[in-house]
Amino acid sequence: MKFFHLADLHLGKRVHDFSMLEDQEDILRQILDLCEKEGPDAILLAGDIYDKSTPSAQAVDLLDRFLVDLTQRVDHVFMIPGNHDSPERLAFGSRLMSREGLHIAPAYQGPQAPYVLEDSHGPLNIHLLPYLRPGLVQAQFPEEEITSYTQAVESAIAHLSIDSGERNLLVAHQFVTGAERSDSERVIVGGSDNVSASVFEAFDYVALGHIHGPQNILSPCLRYAGSPLKYSFSEKNQVKSVTVVNLEEKGTVQVWTLPLIPRHDLREIRGNLDDLLASAPSSGPEKEDYIRAILTDEETPPMALAKLRKAYPRIMRLDLDNRRTRHQSFVDDKVREDLSNLDLFSGFYESQNGKPLSPDQKAYVEKVFKRIGEEDQ
């Protein structure tokens, strides 16, 4: 039985104040085309369907159209809420939609019976587990001590009806220890949301969401599909894809990927302003890419962003990498009390700019401090 594993659509997301809806609609169309071509039996959507718990009307409309088209191409779609989603909003009407093959996990209220699909190898049990926090699971099992994310997921799985002699697939949305994060993910300080990979041992395949870079954890059978689009410049070198999973007889699982090509790529350019402007494409798809420009000019050129935007209309971010920024530091807060205001300012200026005040600058600053002192008397 063949599945498409997808996750982290983040419909409605804005990246550096650019709406991604146009790009998301294009990538969803590619996914629909791949469904036509490859003919999967079912689709697994592993959470963070929306970017916000209260999505925009445009994001809701896009998901609605996508799911209608998807259910016309495959018999079953299995979807769970992630940490960005409102489980109650996402699951609205789910009992009605299940009749059309769209199965949505509700907010966690204890164990749910698996969905059972049949093929020539027998039953295949599909378990849906929405994003879990310790408090959610503790509320369902007050007799247990659940203080960590690992304990929460472990307890939720322990209460599922799992037949170890049959094939079992899990759709989940958690941060599994060892996964490589991207800048676009919501991070809990201290990594307290880590979940041990060992809690998933009962399953033949675990379709994970939450991490935006496609990757396996210990095995191809414990896998993040990743987001279908790049949502941060830390993802610039990633190849986004659809993960394809084929489960044959018990113990035989094949996993491969189908690449997704963004309408507008997200990439970095580096150099001084004149060189970046001279090398800018005059037309073609590269001109429309989302850009992070890193300027290496020692002095920040005036109107740099405005000039770059004419050459790269989708520039998202402008950063500096020069002697000053590489030597950023703060004046030691343990300075001697006998240092004057001029000495303190001079040290700060040099730490920020990589060079000392000129004699004229020093004379001007000294005059300013003298005037301030007179006004305070």
* Domain harbouring 91, CATH code: 3.60.21.10
Nearest in space to 108 (alpha carbons), one of 158, 156, 161, 173: 156
Residues of the domain holding 289: 266-325
Nearest in space to 169 (alpha carbons), one of 209, 146, 202: 202
Q: Are residues 104 and 9 in the same domain?
A: yes
Q: Are residues 357 and 219 in the same domain?
A: no
Nearest in space to 146 (alpha carbons), one of 186, 181, 216, 195: 195
Name the domain count of the chain.
3
Q: Are residues 28 and 157 in the same domain?
A: yes
Residues 93, 88: Cα–Cα separation, whole Å: 10
Q: Are residues 225 and 319 in the same domain?
A: no
Nearest in space to 75 (alpha carbons), one of 43, 30, 36: 43
Q: What pLDDT score was predicted for residue 338?
A: 53
Q: Are residues 200 and 344 in the same domain?
A: no
Which residues, 6+ apart, have CB-to-CB distance to 247 below 8 Å? 1, 3, 121, 124, 167, 169, 204, 205, 253
Q: Are residues 196 and 277 in the same domain?
A: no
Q: Are residues 160 and 237 in the same domain?
A: yes
Contact 264, 288 (CB under 8 A): yes
SS3 (DSSP) at 15: strand
Contact 312, 265 (CB under 8 A): no
Q: Are residues 51 and 95 in the same domain?
A: yes
From 259, 284, 307, the end of a domain falls on: 259
Q: Are residues 255 and 272 in the same domain?
A: no
From 239, 259, 279, the end of a domain falls on: 259
Which residues, 6+ apart, have CB-to-CB distance to 289 below 8 Å? 264, 265, 266, 267, 312, 314
Contact 53, 19 (CB under 8 A): no
Q: Are residues 296 and 347 in the same domain?
A: no
Task: Output the tens digit of pLDDT for each of the chain's 377 residues.
Answer: 999 999 999 999 999 999 999 999 999 999 999 999 999 999 999 999 999 999 999 999 999 999 999 999 999 999 999 999 999 999 888 888 888 899 999 999 999 999 999 999 999 999 999 999 999 999 999 999 999 999 999 999 999 989 999 999 999 999 998 888 887 767 665 566 889 999 999 999 999 999 999 999 999 999 999 999 999 999 999 999 999 999 999 999 999 999 999 999 999 999 999 999 999 998 888 899 999 999 998 888 889 999 999 999 999 999 998 887 776 534 344 444 456 778 778 877 776 666 788 888 988 988 887 777 654 44
SS3 (DSSP) at 128: strand
From 259, 282, 310, the end of a domain falls on: 259
Q: What pLDDT score was predicted for residue 377?
A: 41
Query: What does each C-alpha distance from 319 to 21, 272, 303, 322, 326 come to in angstroms?
Result: 26, 11, 13, 10, 12
Q: Are residues 18 and 152 in the same domain?
A: yes
Q: Are residues 272 and 202 in the same domain?
A: no
What is the full DSSP assignment across 251-290? T-EEEEEEE---SS-EEEEEE-HHHHHHT--SSSGGGGSE
